[in-house]
Structure 1
Amino acid sequence: MTLDPHDWGAVHATARRMVYDMLHWQETVRERAPWQPVPQDVKDRLDEPVPHAGLPLDEVYDAFVRDILPYPTGNVHPRFWGWVMGTGSPTGMLAEMLAAGMNAHLAGYDQSASLIEKKVLSWLTELMGFPETASGVLVSGGTAANLNGLLAARVAKAGWNIREEGLHAGPPLVVYGSSETHSWARKACETMGMGRKAFNAIAVDTEYRLDLAACRSAILTDIASGLRPIAIIGNAGTVNTAAVDDLNGIRTLADEFGLWFHVDGAFGSMAAWSASRDLVAGQELADSIAFDLHKWGYMPYEVGVVLTRDSEAQLAAFQPVAGTAAYLQSSQKGISADTTYFADRGLQLSRGFRALKVWMSMKEQGADRIGHAIQDNIDQAHYLGRRVEATAALELLAPVSMNIVCFRYAPEGVPEARLNLLNQAILTELQVRGIAVPSQTVLANRFAIRVCISNHRTELDDLDALVDAVLEIGAELAAGQDLP
C-alpha cells in the first residue's frame, strides 16, 4: 500500500495554496503582533487522540492555518529581538520544501546533495578565513557544532588513546572558558563523560571578556594539581552582551601550553561577513570554530556549522577505529563512493539535506548582501545604545560591542530595590501587548531588558517604537501600586 495521494490533482491544489499562503504570511508579517499566547480552546483542539484514520490534506492544512500558524515564537517579526533567534527568508523556506521533496540521505554517497554540502563548506571555510585544507560538517546547531569541536580537541590533546581506553586511562581533563560562556560547554563536558567540573569558568573583565591572566593562572594551578588541560574556548559574541574575547590572546595562551583553541561563534562569528569583521579578528586562528547560519545568517532552522583546521583531527575523533561496517563500506564506483564522508566527521549517520537552504540562500542573496544585513544590525544596536544613553530615564547596563543592547528603565526617584521587578514587568508588558519581544538577562544583579538584533527585517523605526513603549509602560507601572 503506497502512501502517495489517491488524488494528485487535489494535492497540487492544496500545495499551491500552501506556498501562496506562506509567502503572503511572510510578506505581511508587520501586520501582526510579534507574539501572542496560544488560547486555551486552541490548546484543547491540539490535544487530540492518535489519528488512526487519515483526513484529506486540505482539511489537515485548514487545521494548521487555524490552530498552528497564528501562534509561533514570532522570531520572523521585525520587532522580535529575544534570545538569539534568526528570521529565515522566503528563499530558505522554499529550499526546505525542495530538500524535503528530495529527501536525500547525507551520510555521504555519490550524489548531488553531497557535492552541494562540500561546496557550501568550502565557501564557509573561505569566508571565515580558514585554510582550504580545513574540514567541516553541517549540524543541527551551536550545541552540536561546539560539541564536535571539543570531541576533536579531546582526542587530539588527551595524551593517550582516549577512544580506545576511555577517560579512566589518564588524569581528569579540563576545558577553560569565560564565565559568560554559553551553557553548552558544561553540557558538552557532561556528555563526554568528563563531568561538569571539567569546565573551568574563568572570571571576566569589565567588558565581560575572558580574563587571560586569570585563565593562565588557572591552567598552572590545574597542572600542578595533576589535571590535564586540553582546550580553551573563546567567545565570538557572548549570549548576554555579545562580548568578544581577546581571540588573538587566547591563541597565544593556548600555544604556550599546547592546548586546542576552540571558538564559539554561534552568532558573532558571522560578523566576519560584514564591514565590522575586525570585531572577531583572531577567530580564523582557531583549531575549530562553531557558528549558526540559522542565527545571523538569516536561514531557517536547523543549520549549524563546525570547521576544524586540521582535517585529520576531525576524522580522528569520529571515523570508526575498528573499520567501517560491511554495509557502509565505500566502493570505487557506484553510489557507495564516499558512503560515510560526513558521518565520519560527526555524530550523525542519518543526516538531512541541510546544505540546500544554505546553497540557495547564498546563491540568491549573495554573501555580500547577507553581510550588509549583519552590518545593519550592528549599526542598529549602536543606534539603540545611543538612544538609551541620551534618555534620562534609561540606563545602559553593558557596552554595545556588536548587536546586543542591555538596558533598563531607571528614572530618578524610583528606589534601586524596586527597579528589577519594575523592568521585569515592563518586559512582560512589551510581549503580551504585542509591541515587541526582547528577552532578559541579569548583569551585576540588575535585571536588564536585552535586545539582540539578528533580524534582517528590523528598521530604526522599530527601535524608536521600543524606546517609546518602554518609557510609556515604565511610567505607567512606576505610578501604580502593584510592585513592591
Structure 2
Amino acid sequence: MQSFDLTPSERQELYKFTIDFLEKYYSDTKSNRVSPRLDISEIVKEVRKVDFSAPLTSKEALKHLVEGMKNYSVQTPHPKYFGLYNPRANFPSILGDLITAVFNPQLAAWSHSPFANEIENYLIAEFGKKFGYSTESIDGVFASGGAEANLTAVLCAVNYAFPQFAKSGWFGVRKRPVMYCSAESHHSVHKAAKTVGLGYDAIRNIPVRKDLKMDLEILKETIQKDVHDGYQPFLVIGTAGTTGTGAIDDLPGIRKIADDFGLWFHVDAAYGGAAVLHPDLKPYLNGISLSDSITFDAHKWLSVTMGTSLFITRHKEILSETFRITAEYMPKEAKDLEIVDPFTHSIQWSRRAYGIKLYLALMIFGWEGYEKTIRHQTEIGEKLKGLLKNSGWTVMNSSPFPVVCFMDENYLDNPDFTKTVIKNIIDSGKSWLSIYPVFGKPTFRACITNYNTSEEDIEALVSELNEGREILESRIKNQGTK
C-alpha cells in the first residue's frame, strides 16, 4: 500500500519542486495577467482532464495545480489588482499557513492545542487594547471571515437583549426584534439576520448623508417609530470603512443613540480597523472604543492569508452566554484549569488555527512594520486621487483610506460608460478594478490593497482609464456623425 506520507526523500524533493514553482510566481507576479480569460468550457475541461482512476505522478499533479491557479484566477497578489479587499499575502503569513497545515492543530479543545489557543487569546487581547477596550474586559474569538464575525455579533446582541433566548429561542420573545445599519453596510449583516431566523424584514437600512455616513437623525427617528409601533430594537451596527466607499460612520453619535434606547452597538471594522495602527488615521476611528463589539479582518489591510478575522468584545461573559454547551466526549484534561474551551465560545466547533499566521507576521514585522505599510498604501491612494483629478476624473467619495470611487461627470447618466471602460481594461489583463454605485450612479472603484503597488502602477492605471475614455468618446462621436 502506498504511504500517504511518501518517503522522506520524496517529501524533500517535492518540497523543493513546489517551492520553486511558487517562488517563481510570488517573485514575478507582475508578469502575469491580472485577470484570466473566462472561457468556461476551457476551464472546466482543464480541471476535469484529470482521471482519478489513473493517478498522476506527484510532480505532474503539482504542476497541473499550480499552473491552473496561475492561469485561471484573478491575481489578487498582483500590484495592479485594485479590486476588493483581497491583498497580496505577506510571506511570513504564508509560512504560518504552511506550519499550521503540517501540525494541523484542532482548536475545539484548549488542551489539544494550548499553544495555538493561547496565541489567539494573546492576539485578541493585544488588538482589543489597540481598539481602546480596557484590558480586564477584553474577550473575543477568531473567525473564518468578517461574515462569521458579524454573525457572532448579531448572536451576542440577541443573547444580551433576550437572556432567555438560549433556552426558548424566538418563541420566548414577545415583541418582534429589529436591528439597524447603514444602507452602505456589508451584506453579511443581512445574511446574519437571515441566518439567525430574524429575516430581512428585521433590518432597518438607514440612509446615508452626502458624506456617505449613516444619517443619525433618521436612525433616531426610525428607532422611535419602531418603539411606538411595538417592535423591540436590540442592535445598531456602525461601519468603520464601508466596502464600497471606505466611509466611517459617526461612532460616538451612534453610541449615544444606542445608550438612549438600550441597544448593543457593534462596529464592523473589517477593513478600516487596521487604521488604529497608523497614528494619522487612528483619530478617524474615534468612538470605536465605545462599542460593545468589533469585527476586524486581518486578511484585509494586514495582508495575511485568507481567512483571518477577529471578533472582539468588551463584555467578558457574552460569548460564553451565547455559545456555552457541554459535550461528554470532549477532552477533560484541562477541567481543573482556568481555561475556556473554544467550542464553548464560538460558532465553530472543530476548526483551523487562524491566528498562527498573524502571530508570525507580527513577530517578524511588529507594529511598526505594519504602520509603515499602511502609511505607504495610504500615500499611494492619495497620489491616485491626484492623478485622477489631473486627468479630468471626479473623486466621488471622501474616505481617508485608499479607497477611491471616481467618475467622469459627463457620463454620470450613461451606465454603459463604466461597463465598457472596465471591460476593456479587465479583458486586457493589465489591471483589475470594479464598479460601485454612489447614490445610484455607477462609478469606478479602485482600492490600494497591495503593499507592493507603486506610483508607476497607478500611473499606468490612469493611462488605461484615459485611453478607455478616449476610445469610447471617439466611438460616440463617430456614431453621432453618421
Fold conserved (TM > 0.5)? yes
Structure 1 match to 2:288? 283
Amino acid at match of 1:470: L
Instruction: Report SS of the residue matched to 1:366.
Output: helix
User: Residues 42, 179 of structure 1: CA spacing in aligned structure 2 closer, same or farther, 3 A cutoff?
Assistant: closer
Q: How far apart, in 2, do the equivalents of 1:319 and 1:390 lie?
A: 57
Q: How far apart, in 2, do the equivalents of 1:83 and 1:427 lie?
A: 15
Instruction: Report SS of the residue matched to 1:112.
Output: helix
Within a 5 Å distance, the mapping from 1:16-415 to structure 2 comes to: 16-39=16-39, 40-48=41-49, 51-110=52-111, 111-132=114-135, 133-158=137-162, 160-170=163-173, 171-275=175-279, 276-320=281-325, 324-328=326-330, 330-332=332-334, 341-392=341-392, 394-410=393-409
Instruction: Report SS of the residue matched to 2:433.
Output: strand
Q: How far apart, in 2, do the equivalents of 1:311 and 1:209 lie?
A: 30
Amino acid at match of 1:44: K
Task: Decide whether the 8 Å contact of 2:21 with 2:66 is kept in 1.
Answer: no
Instruction: Report SS of the residue matched to 1:448.
Output: strand
Task: Decide whether the 8 Å contact of 1:107 with 1:340 is kept in 2.
Answer: no
Instruction: Say how many residue pairs are matched.
Output: 473
Amino acid at match of 1:327: Y
Cα distance, 1:339 vs. partner? 8.2
Q: How far apart, in 2, do the equivalents of 1:433 and 1:389 lie?
A: 24
* Among 408, 411, 425, the residue aligned to 1:430: 425
* Among 445, 451, 454, the residue aligned to 2:446: 451
Amino acid at match of 1:388: L
Unaligned runs of 5+ in 1: none
Task: Decide whether the 8 Å contact of 1:421 with 1:483 is kept in 2.
Answer: no
Amino acid at match of 1:58: K
Cα distance, 1:232 vs. partner? 0.7
User: Residues 152, 400 of structure 1: CA spacing in aligned structure 2 closer, same or farther, 3 A cutoff?
Assistant: closer
Q: How far apart, in 1, do the equivalents of 2:43 and 2:150 lie?
A: 37
Q: How far apart, in 2, do the equivalents of 1:348 and 1:89 lie?
A: 26
Q: For each residue in 1:391-422, what CA deviation from the matched residue of structure 2 results, as whole angstroms up to 9, or x when unmatched? A: 33x222222432211112345xxx654x3212
Q: How far apart, in 2, do the equivalents of 1:378 and 1:362 lie?
A: 20
Q: How far apart, in 1, do the equivalents of 2:186 and 2:313 lie?
A: 20
Instruction: Report SS of the residue matched to 1:137.
Output: strand
Q: How far apart, in 2, do the equivalents of 1:149 and 1:37 lie?
A: 39
User: Residues 467, 308 of structure 1: CA spacing in aligned structure 2 closer, same or farther, 3 A cutoff?
Assistant: same
Q: For each residue in 1:132-166, what CA deviation from the matched residue of structure 2 results, as whole angstroms up to 9, or x when unmatched? A: 231111111000001111110110013x5011111
Cα distance, 1:454 vs. partner? 2.1
Cα distance, 1:37 vs. partner? 2.0
Amino acid at match of 2:188: W
Task: Decide whether the 8 Å contact of 1:23 with 1:90 is kept in 2.
Answer: no
Cα distance, 1:15 vs. partner? 1.0
Amino acid at match of 1:68: M
User: Residues 483, 57 of structure 1: CA spacing in aligned structure 2 closer, same or farther, 3 A cutoff?
Assistant: farther
Q: How far apart, in 2, do the equivalents of 1:204 and 1:109 lie?
A: 44
Cα distance, 1:53 vs. partner? 5.0
Cα distance, 1:338 vs. partner? 7.4
Task: Decide whether the 8 Å contact of 1:340 with 1:349 is kept in 2.
Answer: no
User: Residues 331, 441 of structure 1: CA spacing in aligned structure 2 closer, same or farther, 3 A cutoff?
Assistant: same
TM-score after normalising by structure 2:
0.93
Amino acid at match of 2:402: N
Percentage of pairs with the same residue: 24
Q: For each residue in 1:333-373, what CA deviation from the matched residue of structure 2 results, as whole angstroms up to 9, or x when unmatched? A: 7xx96786222221111111211101111111112211221
Amino acid at match of 2:153: G
Instruction: Report SS of the residue matched to 2:317.
Output: helix
Unaligned runs of 5+ in 2: none
Amino acid at match of 1:75: T
Cα distance, 1:50 vs. partner? 6.2
Question: Pairwise CA RMSD of aligned residues?
Answer: 2.1
Q: Which moved more, 1:79-88 or 1:242-251?
A: 79-88
Cα distance, 1:45 vs. partner? 2.3
